[in-house]
């Protein structure tokens, strides 16, 4: 029989899985993209989904004594990171691509917590907020100027220049991809 602290940690982790859209309970996150872009940015960057990671960090003393649950945390985090990034490659909707990217990055944070690297998870959580907000708000600018069109296919039909927004996208994507000396590089390194 599992000790009581393992059971408590497990149920806490179930809350984290739901709140932070980890593998298995992730479906709500891309579907939440129906809302306005600034709200999506707020939800994805700083407030809602990251609360699960924050819960993991705050309860770290308990999780440290629950080694079996900690392995599960690391496993689910790794699966989510891989799954989110893979699914994002096959999405057509611009905002859904960014949403699955959030899912993947949350997987990295949970994985770091599962490996007892709580500070690293928190650091990535903090950095992620900036470049994800940038990506969402840039996406909002593009969508607005294309009359609400969000499909990837539709973008190829428009001969429109977004030179400034493109640069913003490039900076955000580079930080997300951990290009050297950008924000994502420090936390993922």
Partner 1 sequence: MLEVSNSFFYVDGLLITFLAFLAAIYTGYYTGLSFVAYREEDEEEELSLDAYAFKKNDFFLKEGSPLFIYSHVAETTGFILFVLCVLAFLSVIAGFLFFDFFLGIGGSA
CB of 90 to partner 1, least distance (A): 26
In the DSSP assignment, the letter for residue 146 is T
Classify the C-alpha dihedral 149-153-158-160 as positive or negative: positive
CB of 133 to partner 1, least distance (A): 5
Of positions 25, 42, 79, 82, contacts partner 1 by CB under 8 A: 42
Q: Is 18 exposed, middle or buried (0-12, 13-18, 19+ CB in 10 A)?
A: middle
Whose Cβ is closer to partner 1: residue 2's or residue 164's?
164
Site for partner 1 in 47-86 (CB under 8 A): 47, 50, 54, 57-58, 60-61
**What is the contact mask toward partner 1 in residues 134 to 163, using x (rule: CB under 8 A)?**
x--xx-xxx-xxxx---------xxxxxxx
- Please answer whether residues 52 and 29 qualify as being in contact, where contact means their C-beta atoms are separated by less than 8 angstroms: no
Residues belonging to the chain: 189
Tell me which residue has tokens 């539709």.
154
Whose Cβ is closer to partner 1: residue 30's or residue 140's?
140
Based on the shown chain and the rule CB under 8 A, indicate whether residue 105 belongs to the binding site for partner 1. no
Q: Distance between CA atoms of 72 and 70, rounded to whole angstroms?
A: 5
Cα 59–Cα 41–Cα 21 angle in degrees, nearest 5:
45
Residues that bind partner 1 (CB under 8 A): 36-39, 41-42, 45-47, 50, 54, 57-58, 60-61, 116-120, 122-123, 126-127, 129-131, 133-134, 137-138, 140-142, 144-147, 157-165, 167-168, 171-172, 175, 181-187
């Amino acid at each position: 029989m599992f000790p009581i602290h393992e059971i408590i940690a497990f149920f806490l982790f179930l809350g984290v899985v739901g709140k932070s859209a980890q593998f298995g309970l992730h479906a709500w996150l891309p579907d939440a993209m129906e809302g306005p872009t600034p709200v999506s940015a707020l939800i994805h960057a700083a407030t809602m989904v990251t609360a699960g990671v924050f819960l993991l960090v705050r309860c770290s003393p308990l999780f440290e004594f629950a080694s079996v649950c900690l392995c599960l945390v690391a496993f689910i985090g790794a699966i989510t990171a891989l799954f989110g990034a893979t699914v994002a490659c096959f999405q057509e909707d611009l905002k859904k691509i960014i949403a699955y990217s959030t899912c993947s990055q949350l997987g990295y944070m949970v994985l770091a917590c599962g490996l007892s690297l709580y500070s690293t998870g928190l650091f990535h959580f903090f950095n992620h907020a900036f470049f994800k907000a940038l990506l969402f708000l840039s996406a909002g600018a593009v969508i607005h100027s294309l009359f609400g069109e969000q499909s990837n296919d539709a973008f190829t039909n428009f001969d429109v220049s977004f030179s400034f927004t493109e640069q913003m996208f490039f900076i955000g994507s580079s930080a997300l991809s951990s290009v050297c000396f950008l924000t994502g590089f420090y936390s993922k390194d």
